[in-house]
Structure 1
Amino acid sequence: MQDYRNDKMLPNLIIEIKTENIWKQILSRTKTPMEALDNEDICIKNQQGKDYPEGILEFIPFLLLIDHTNSIISTS
């Protein structure tokens, strides 16, 4: 498991990546960001380390940005 923090984007949340290769899967388009969420590969926790499902609302724009970037890359 790895924790990723982006102080500008999600200052109060810890994003836990449950599978080591999730970013590789998303970036290589093996999985879309939404498939990663559906499969519960991504878990959001608050600063106390407790599950924080509402945090996904803050994380979705980041996933959509990755998805949009992938679509631009694939068309160029």
Structure 2
Amino acid sequence: MIKARITVTLKNGVLDPQGKAIEHALDGLGFAGVGSVRQGKVFDIEVDGTDRAKAEADLKAMCDKLLANTVIENYSVAIT
């Protein structure tokens, strides 16, 4: 079994209204000095097998086809 963590974030330059709302909420809660907040998604996935190269290729295909909108999002795959 191979375990991986996929992190998906908005590309630089893409507006992040949810991140901006979090930033304002943190300021309202008294956490001054927060300059910028960007939000994203994390997926923890287990795949069968022991071939790390195949697992990484499959995980990247999952991102390209479903987990990330590659027009506006970046992703990283970390096999643990």
TM-score relative to the length of structure 2 = 0.27
Which has the larger Rg?
Answer: 2
- Name the structure where helix makes up a greater proportion of residues: 1
TM-score relative to the length of structure 1 = 0.28
